[in-house]
A and B are shown apart, each in its own frame.
Chain A
Amino acid sequence: MRIFDPHIHMTSRTTNDYTAMYDAGVRAVVEPSFWLGQPRTNVGSFADYFDALIGWERFRAAQYGIRHHATIGLNPKEANDPRCREVLDLLPRYLGKDGVVAVGETGYDSMTAAEDEAFAAQLELADRFGLPALVHTPHRDKAAGTIRTLDVVRESGLAPERVVVDHLNEMTVRAVAESGCWMGFSIYPDTKMDERRFVAILQEYGTERMLANSAADWGHSDPLKTRATAEAMLEAGFTLDDVDVVLWQNPVAFYGQSGRLNLDTVPGFEADAADVAFAAAGATFEGNSVLRGVRA
C-alpha cells in the first residue's frame, strides 16, 4: 500500500516517525508552512523556517526513503501580527522553488481584516506562480469561516480545482463539495475528524476530490493516521483501488498541478525496507548525516 500524506508537519516529528511512516507505506509527504506554537516576531524567523522546509527537512525525509515537498505561505494566525505581515513580500522568493507545490497554509483563524488581506494576496500569488492553494479553516466558528473562505476563493478567480479547503467535518463538507474545491480532512486521535467518521463521509460523498491527512505536528497527533484511514476504508468495504485513489492518486493529482512533485523512488530504497535506513549513509546536508554514528 502506497501512501501520500498531503499535510504533515515533519519538522516537529522524530526520525522514529519517519521510519514508522515508511514501514506503514508512506512514500511522499507535503509539509505546509504553519504556526510553530511559539509565535514568531520577525520576518527573518520565517525565512529561516522556509529555508529549513525546502532544505534540511527534505534531506532528512530522503534519508528515510520519503519524498518531501512543502507549501509556503503566511499562516492566518501570524498574519495578524504587523511584525510578520512583511512575510508577504518575501513569499515570491520561495514560491518559485523546486519542491514547493502550493501556497499555504492560508485562510482564516479569527476572521480579521488582516487575515482577509493576507488570504486574498496569497490567492493572487498562487495564480501568479501557477500553484494550487492550501486553505486552512478555523477551529472556532468553523462553519461560518468555511462559507467565508469559499466566497473569497470565488472572488479570487482561482479555479476551484486548484484549491483544497482543509480540516473539514460533517458540518462543512457539503458546501466545499458543491464549490468544486478539493476537500481535506485531518484525521486526529481526538479532535477534528477520526478515521471512522471520515469513512462515513466517503460513503456519502464518494472518493472524488477527497484528501485524508494526519496533520501531525507538535500537538497530540499521530503520523500513522493515514494508514489507519486506509485500514478503516478496507474494513468498511472499500477496495484497495479506492484506498489508492484517496491516499495516493488524489494528493498526486492535486499537488501535481504545480508540476513540481518528485515521486521517484529515493535511490537505495527500491529493495527491502530493512535496508532502508542506511541506504543513503554517507550523504550529508551541510555536514550533518542525520544518521548518527553510521557514516564511514
Chain B
Amino acid sequence: MNDGWITEGVAAVTAEPDRIAELFPAAGRAVGREPVDPDGDPLGLVHGTLDDRAREELVAALLAALPPEDAARELGDLYRYGDDAERRGVVRGLSAADPDAEPIVNAGLDLVADALRTNDPRLVAAALGPFGARHLDQHAWRHGVLKVLFMGIPLEAIADVDRRRDDELTRMAAGLVAERRAASRDIRDDMSRLAGGGVQTTADRTPALDHTTTAHDPEQED
C-alpha cells in the first residue's frame, strides 16, 4: 500500500479540510483497489479494500479537523457525489465518529439508510459496520442483517452481530430459511446460524427447481 500518499493526504485534510473532495476520488489510483485480505476475503466485504482503508483515514482526519456540523455536511456531499467506492469509503469512515457528536450521527444514519437501500454488496456490508452497529435502531438493523443473508454477504462483515441479535431476528432468519427450503433453494450456514441452527443446509437441499426460482428472484430488480 502507498502509505506515503495516505500520510500526505491526512496532513492535507488536517490543514485544509476541503482538499478531501479532490483526494477521495483519487484514492484508488494512488493506493490500489485490491482487497486487504485477498485469500480470506476476495471481495473485500469483511475487511475492505486498500482504497477503503485510505478513505477511512481521510474521513477520520476530516472528523478531527472540522466542527461536527461542517464535517457532517462534507460527508453528505462526498457521499452524494461519490461513486460506489467513495460512498463505501464515507460509510466505512463513519466508524471513527464520536458517538456523542449528534450532527455526525444524524447525518451518518441518513447515509447508512441510503446504503442499505442499494443492492451493492460492499456498500451494504459497510453500512452494517461499527457505526451501523452502534447507531441503527433495532428494526433497521435487523432488516439490514436479513438483506446481508439475501445477498450472500458473510456474516463476519456485520459488526457486533452476537451482541445485537435478538429473538425477532432469529424468527426472521428462520422464516427466510423456511421460504428458501420451500423453493428448493440453497441455505447457507450463515442463515442456519442466525435462525438458531438445526435446519437443513446446502448439502441436504433438493436442487430440482433452482433454475426457475432464480429467474424470479425478488432481489433482481429489473
Report B-chain residues with C-beta under 8 Å of the C-beta of A54.
83
Q: Are B81 and A288 in contact (CB under 8 A)?
A: no
Report A-chain residues with C-beta under 8 Å of the C-beta of B211.
296
Tell me, in angstroms, the Cα distance from A30 to B119 when the chains sit together. Answer: 27
Interface band, chain A: 20 to 34
Residue of B nearest to A260 (CB): B29
Report B-chain residues with C-beta under 8 Å of the C-beta of A204.
none
Tell me, in angstroms, the Cα distance from A259 to B30 when the chains sit together. Answer: 12
Please report which residues of chain A, range 247-296, place their CB below 8 angstroms from some CB of chain B when the two chains form the complex.
259-260, 284-289, 292-293, 295-296
Tell me, in angstroms, the Cα distance from A172 to B84 when the chains sit together. Answer: 41
Q: Are A288 and B221 in contact (CB under 8 A)?
A: yes
Tell me, in angstroms, the Cα distance from A232 to B212 when the chains sit together. Answer: 48
Chain B positions 190 through 222: 1 when the CB is less than 8 Å from some CB of chain A, otherwise 0: 000000000000000000001100110101111
Residue of B nearest to A97 (CB): B25
Q: Give the interface SS of chain A, mostly helix, strand, loop or mixed.
A: loop
Q: Are B118 and A286 in contact (CB under 8 A)?
A: yes
Residue of B nearest to A290 (CB): B222
Contact of A286 among B22, B24, B29, B120 (CB under 8 A): B120
Please report which residues of chain B, range 87-102, place their CB below 8 angstroms from some CB of chain A when the two chains form the complex.
none
Contact of A90 among B29, B81, B214, B220 (CB under 8 A): B81
Report B-chain residues with C-beta under 8 Å of the C-beta of A92.
21-22
Could you jot down 24 A-B contacts, CB within 8 Å? A47-B81, A54-B83, A92-B21, A93-B77, A93-B81, A96-B21, A96-B24, A96-B25, A96-B26, A97-B25, A98-B83, A260-B29, A284-B119, A287-B119, A288-B119, A288-B220, A288-B221, A288-B222, A292-B222, A293-B215, A295-B217, A295-B220, A296-B210, A296-B211
Interface residues of B (CB under 8 A from A): 21-22, 24-26, 28-29, 77, 80-81, 83-85, 118-120, 210-211, 214-215, 217, 219-222
